[in-house]
Amino acid sequence: MKKAVMKVLMLITTLVFATSVMAAGADETRVVNLWQCKLKEDKTIDNVHAANGKWVKYVNAQVAGGDIHSYVLQTVVGAARSFLYADSYPNLAAWEAASAIETDEMKAIDKGLGEVAECSNNTLHKSKES
């Protein structure tokens, strides 16, 4: 059962990467930050999308050049309350700029994200279309 869940998660992650990279062009690389998360009690994936939508809109307005995308990867088989965020940046500088935002508005957005889900860890990846 665990192998099937992992295969589905890997397929979904690969599809998100491919979509994100295709938007960047064949010769460009993108930086992708994957967060492993779990919904909090009484919260729904719609709550996650609403909070994440505020985050992606705000960081695109704050980071020069924007072009930051974020995806919510829902579990199809397995732990129903678990999901991933896949945040795609045009380059490492954009990821660094987004990570450095410490305004009151960003703190409020981060608080909203924390109210709907708990994220246990993240990994940063460089992606390039094959």
Residue 99 pLDDT > 60? yes
Mean pLDDT of 54-62: 98
Length of the chain: 130
- What are the structural domain ranges in the chain? 2-128
Residues 6+ apart with CB under 8 A from 113: 51, 52, 55
Whether pTM exceeds 0.75: yes
Tell me the torsion sign for CA atoms 61, 102, 38, 119: positive
Architecture of domain 2-128: 2-Layer Sandwich (3.30)
- The pLDDT score that the predictor gives to residue 10 is 43
Which tokens go with 56? Answer: 């992606």
Residue 17 pLDDT > 50? no
- The pLDDT score that the predictor gives to residue 78 is 82
Q: Percentage of the chain with pLDDT > 70?
A: 79
